[in-house]
Amino acid sequence: MAMKLLKVADYAEMSRQAADIIIKQVKEKPNAVLGLATGSTVLGVYRELAADHRQHGTSYRLVRTVNLDEYVGLDPDHPNSYRYYMNQHLFAQLDIPLHETHVPDGLAADLDEECRRYERLIDELGGIDLQLLGIGRNGHIGFNEPGTPFSTATHVVELTELTREANARFFPSLDDVPRYAITMGIATILRSRRIVLLASGEEKADAMARLLEGVVTPDLPASALHLHPDVTIIADCEALSLIPKEKRRVDAP
């Protein structure tokens, strides 16, 4: 199994290390296709990328991006849509042309057609060079909830209550959290040439312990990553706190 684990002290260190990998990728291949994620975990990475762009001028002029997922029914201008999040936290801070950034359209009249279009789009871009991932408390990646077959392409999902509750902190109330989303499937994610998964905080410790046990099962969607040849996991101490002590040494300062 080609899964590399970088154990880091904390969120800041995780964010810096992930940003370094992305910056290196963009320098090596200026027209790289980056697969991006949303949520709290990746916010620090986006702050690092923005700071590096300002200070060192790393250019994203030729980069193309595809996001993992989007809520169904939220307008791109809705502050809780993932399109809004991406524009706000990353794209507006870089020199990337907005038309080269892609997020599934959660308002599409025909959602199944939108899923097919998104798969074609990724192919037309030449595939994803580097996919950034967070992990849900139940081990979901993107919005692929437990039980999702690994063969699934981009599809519409009904969100689990656990996921809706976890994401409710961004919404006025639980009732406002959409019930459906469009997400890249596990097969879509596994087609990326390289994958970087981030985990921070003790609420991810259970999912991480199960992931690092190595059992590959649709009950833990992230375990599909064991089937991929080039995965780097960057996790902090809290996220690794349920791993047996002897394996928990912090490698990076």
Binding site for ligand GLP (CB under 6 A): 37-41, 68-69, 134, 136, 142-143, 163, 167
Residue 40 or 241 having the CB closest to ligand GLP: 40
Catalytic residue among 48, 70, 129, 145: 145
Residue 118 or 143 having the CB closest to ligand GLP: 143
Catalytic residue among 138, 155, 167, 238: 138
Residue 66 or 68 having the CB closest to ligand GLP: 68
**Residue 33 CB, nearest approach to ligand GLP (Å):** 18
β strands within the chain, DSSP E = 3-8, 33-36, 64-67, 69-71, 101-102, 130-133, 155-158, 180-183, 194-199, 231-236
**Residue 202 CB, nearest approach to ligand GLP (Å):** 12
Respond yes or no: is residue 69 known to be catalytic: yes
**Residue 137 CB, nearest approach to ligand GLP (Å):** 7
Catalytic residue among 13, 48, 69, 236: 69
**Residue 166 CB, nearest approach to ligand GLP (Å):** 7
Q: Which residues have CB under 8 Å from 54's CB, separation 6+?
A: 93
Residue nearest to ligand GLP (CB): 134
DSSP 192: S
Written as six digits, the tokens of 20 are: 């370094």
Residue 58 or 139 having the CB closest to ligand GLP: 139
**Residue 28 CB, nearest approach to ligand GLP (Å):** 25
Residue 45 or 243 having the CB closest to ligand GLP: 45
Written as six digits, the tokens of 221 are: 């969607």
Catalytic residue among 48, 52, 129, 140: 140
Q: How many CB atoms lie within 10 A of CB 159?
A: 21
CA dist., res. 124 & res. 119, Å (int): 9
CB-count burial class (<10 Å; 0-12, 13-18, 19+) for 87:
middle
Respond yes or no: is residue 138 known to be catalytic: yes
Respond yes or no: is residue 87 known to be catalytic: no
Q: Give the distance, in angstroms, between the CA of residue 226 and the centroid of all CA atoms in the same chain.
A: 16
| Secondary structure of residue 66 in the 3-state scheme | strand
Q: Which residues have CB under 8 Å from 213's CB, separation 6+?
A: none
Q: Show which residues are catalytic.
A: 69, 138, 140, 145
